[in-house]
Amino acid sequence: MSTPAIDRILRGPSGLGTSGLQFRPQVSVPEVPVPEVPAPEAPASEVPVPEVPEAATEVRAATPGFRLPPVHVLPVPPAATATTAAAASPAAEAPSGGKPKAGDPIPGLYHHPIAEPDPVRVEALSAELKVWAMEEVELYPPEWEKDFDGFSTGRYMVACHPDAPSVDHLMLAARLMVAENAVDDCYCEDLGGSPIGLGSRLLLAHTALDPLHTTTEYHPEWEASLSSDAPRRAYHSAMEYFARAATPSQSDRFRHDMARLHLGYLAEAAWDQADHVPEVWEYLAMRQFNNFRPCPTITDTVGGYELPAELHALPAMQRVIALASNATTIVNDLYSYMKELASPGLHLNLPVVISEREGVSRKEGYLKAVEVHNELMLAFEAEAAALALSCPVPALPRFLRGVAAWVDGNHYWHQTNTYRYTLPDFW
């Protein structure tokens, strides 16, 4: 099977022609067990392709009809094939004039459009997720139900994980996403959050993911604390489901990435308390921690397989994951710009920090932030392609394809979520 995301990872955006690439025959990749959820199997196949010339100086757009070089294509469940119809166009065309329409992509933003997520999966996932959030962990009061629905987590996760074998696999990611948002909203942001005392709250919440190992006397008090507020209930429940389906290595990887996220939350809170506007490079450093990394890094668990720990730990893999996560987080800064502009005080995002620190207009800051995103995206694609070529173990390119699909799905969700986001009038 060929998709724009797969093509660009294995082809590379510039000077990384792969016409001579031959992967070794596919080896068995251990399946991640999910109780009572058999993963569909599809036979691997050979995909022939004509010779592809290298392009040393320009970024190649994902071209409809372009075929991969001869490789063993990894099985993808039939339900995941809805995204294969999308023909990718790397960057949005600037409109002829005026503000983009609702649901338009950001003009000039390098991205790869995808097809609409499978509506049957979206509906099934959304319904199951709502039962978990509203009834099982009592995450939100009834008056927040409209915002919960408006977030469209089901559509988000189906778009980001096209190779998930089942709705149960998608639920692993969806619960964690909702729990992370609850912690952000209730501890950090506009639903009761505050920078004051955030470190203590995050530390205790993190023990719902990374359990406390203590004495017999004090263990019951900690255990009782796991249900003391909604974010901790959600973290604890979501992590229990995830750990049952994941390998120990995958669970530990996720806990590590969540510690990174919480560290980023604390840096942002410290700046807020001090009324400090960081330098642009400092802001980008914070965003490397306070970003989406915990989401794409679990793409193998949600896909029903494992990227071995020694491959995940490769410095080249760590860089690829960081670049993808940084780019997707700048997407959030750009699409949520108007929403954050309406919040009290000076809400830090990349366009605002560029404007403040480099002494340019808000429009110039925003447009430069688009350029920053594009550079990160191109670096992600180039280095992911190089890594796939240098280490053709079947699980590795499959994982890179999953991360690329997550990047595309994340952009799709931000672009199309008009309940939450509108674009500024900068064009």
Residue in 209, 267, 202 with CA at minimum distance from that of residue 234: 209
Average pLDDT over residues 71-79: 33
Residue 297 DSSP one-character state: G
- pLDDT digit string (tens) for 190-218? 666 788 899 999 999 999 999 999 999 99
**CA quadruple 241, 231, 411, 355: dihedral, nearest 10:** -150
Determine the Cα–Cα distance for residues 153 and 117; give it in Å rounded to an integer: 12
- pLDDT digit string (tens) for 222-269? 999 999 999 999 999 999 999 999 999 999 999 999 999 999 999 999
**pLDDT computed for residue 8 by the predictor:** 61
**pLDDT computed for residue 97 by the predictor:** 60
- pLDDT digit string (tens) for 353-405? 999 999 999 999 999 999 999 999 999 999 999 999 999 899 999 999 999 99
- The CA-atom distances, in angstroms, between 290 and each of 184, 269, 328 are 10, 11, 11
Determine the Cα–Cα distance for residues 409 and 413; give it in Å rounded to an integer: 6
pTM of the model: 0.80
Structure-block tokens of residue 216:
């017999």
The set of residues, in sequence order, having a beta carbon less than 8 Å from that of 147 and lying 6+ positions away, is none
Band (pLDDT 50/70/90 cuts) for residue 13 is very low
Q: Which residues of 192-230 are buried (b: 16+ CB within 10 A; e: fewer)?
A: ebebeebeebbebbbbbbbbeeeeeeeeeeeeebbeebb
Residue 393 burial by Cβ neighbours in a 10 Å radius (0-12, 13-18, 19+) = middle
Residue in 153, 155, 152, 160 with CA at minimum distance from that of residue 121: 155
- The CA-atom distances, in angstroms, between 72 and each of 24, 51, 308 are 8, 17, 19
Determine the Cα–Cα distance for residues 177 and 129; give it in Å rounded to an integer: 11
**pLDDT computed for residue 88 by the predictor:** 41
Band (pLDDT 50/70/90 cuts) for residue 9 is low
The H or E element that residue 368 is part of is helix 362-390
Residue in 7, 5, 78 with CA at minimum distance from that of residue 40: 78
* Average model confidence (pLDDT) across the chain: 83
Lowest mean pLDDT, pick from 53-57, 103-107, 185-189: 53-57
In contact, 130 and 155? CB cutoff 8 Å: no
Long-range (24+ apart) CB contacts under 8 A made by 126-131 are 126/152, 126/153, 126/154, 126/155, 127/154, 128/167, 128/171, 129/153, 129/154, 129/171, 129/174, 129/175, 129/178
The set of residues, in sequence order, having a beta carbon less than 8 Å from that of 248 and lying 6+ positions away, is none
Beta bridge partners of 268: none
